[in-house]
Amino acid sequence: MKLQARELRWQVPHSGTARSIVEDVSLHVAEGELVGLIGPNGSGKSTVLRMIYRILRPAAGAVSVDGRDVWRMSARDTARLMAVLAQENGGEFEFSVREVVSMGRTPHKSAFARDDQRDIDIVHAAMLRVGVLQLAERSFATLSGGEKQRVLMARALAQQAGLLVLDEPTNHLDVRYQFEIMNLVRSLGVTAIAALHELHIAAHYCDRLYLLENGRLAASGTPAEVLTAEHIAGVYGVRAAIRLHPRSGRPHIEFMPDEPV
Ligand SMILES: Nc1ncnc2c1ncn2[C@@H]1O[C@H](COP(=O)(O)OP(=O)(O)OP(=O)(O)O)[C@@H](O)[C@H]1O
């Protein structure tokens, strides 16, 4: 499955005119690629992803999956193609973990249909895969931030979509689960786009990166091309020394926050 976004723009009203939050962002994710969207707080990562997963309608531009415009499809058809891991939205709160993960099966069932044995098996396997099976009967509301994040990942897995859209998938996770979730995403072999804060995660896991600054693309390319000392200083305002791993060619970043940029 491949994703293409062309010249996306999103605006908010501002003093009688419109202020652009995202402007002229084009990106693509090829079949089986894991692409990272990075950039400082407020640079527009979530806004771009929301236009992709059909929550925010772009003021200009288009999003297509395998050549089909997502904004011309029903929400249900989109959900069969793409699974979304966004931050919890509150809708999960009155449900058990098993029920939240079962919601991933909804796009595949007719209205009010109960889970059949196949759905039950898929939900079980998804919980097992992210290590939340022992939490299955717990109320979602009582979980820690990291446990919630893993349950939401299990729900995305249960959806069995060919495209994963991940908004800060490692948020709340300790270092072990950060690596586990990213290893899991990579092992699935599906097409994926992820907004990421941790640059070492982006460097290690992503095939390509897009760097956003104030709602516009500042750079794109391989991790070695994007995660340069110049880009990190220019966009994040932090000095960094970069070493490329001799075999993988992936950047290793050493931040030097006490040094002037
Ligand atoms: N409805 C809105 N009205 C006004 N401003 C908005 C609205 N939605 C988002 N913004 C602003 O747009 C900018 C981009 O927000 P967005 O959440 O996309 O950034 P982000 O890169 O995902 O940030 P973070 O890393 O902090 O999660 C922010 O400055 C935010 O305050």
| For residue 180, pLDDT beyond 90 | no
pTM of the model: 0.93
**What's the CA-to-centroid distance between 47 and ligand 1, angstroms?**
7
**Which CATH number do you get for residue 220?**
3.40.50.300
Mean pLDDT for 26-46 is 98
- Examine residue 261 and state whether it is found in any structural domain, yes or no: no
| For residue 239, pLDDT beyond 70 | yes
pLDDT of residue 114: 82
pLDDT > 70 in the chain, percent = 99
**147 Cβ partners below 8 Å, 6+ apart?**
132, 135
pLDDT > 90 in the chain, percent = 79
pLDDT of residue 203: 97
Whether residue 216 contacts residue 61, with contact meaning beta carbons closer than 8 Å, is answered with: no
pLDDT of residue 52: 96
Q: How many domains does the chain have?
A: 1
- Examine residue 260 and state whether it is found in any structural domain, yes or no: no
- Examine residue 85 and state whether it is found in any structural domain, yes or no: yes
Rounded to an integer, what distance in angstroms lies between the CA atom of residue 241 and that of residue 223? 14
Can you give the residue range of the structural domain that contains 202?
3-255
Answer whether 46 contacts ligand 1 (Cβ < 6 A).
yes
Mean pLDDT for 219-239 is 97
Question: Taking all residues of the chain, what is their mean pLDDT, rounded to a whole number?
Answer: 93
What is the DSSP secondary structure assignment for residue 36, as one 8-state letter? E
- pLDDT band for position 189 (cuts 50, 70, 90): confident
User: Coil, helix or strand for 11?
Assistant: strand
**What's the CA-to-centroid distance between 189 and ligand 1, angstroms?**
30
pLDDT digits (tens, 9 = 90+) for 73-120: 998 899 999 999 987 666 777 899 999 999 999 888 877 778 889 999
pLDDT digits (tens, 9 = 90+) for 38-59: 999 999 999 999 999 999 999 9
Tokens 């309608």 belong to residue? 57
Answer whether 171 contacts ligand 1 (Cβ < 6 A).
no
- Examine residue 91 and state whether it is found in any structural domain, yes or no: yes
Integer angstrom CA distances of residue 104 from 5, 115, 124, 183, 212: 25, 11, 12, 21, 30
Mean pLDDT for 148-177 is 92
pLDDT of residue 92: 74
Answer whether 14 contacts ligand 1 (Cβ < 6 A).
no
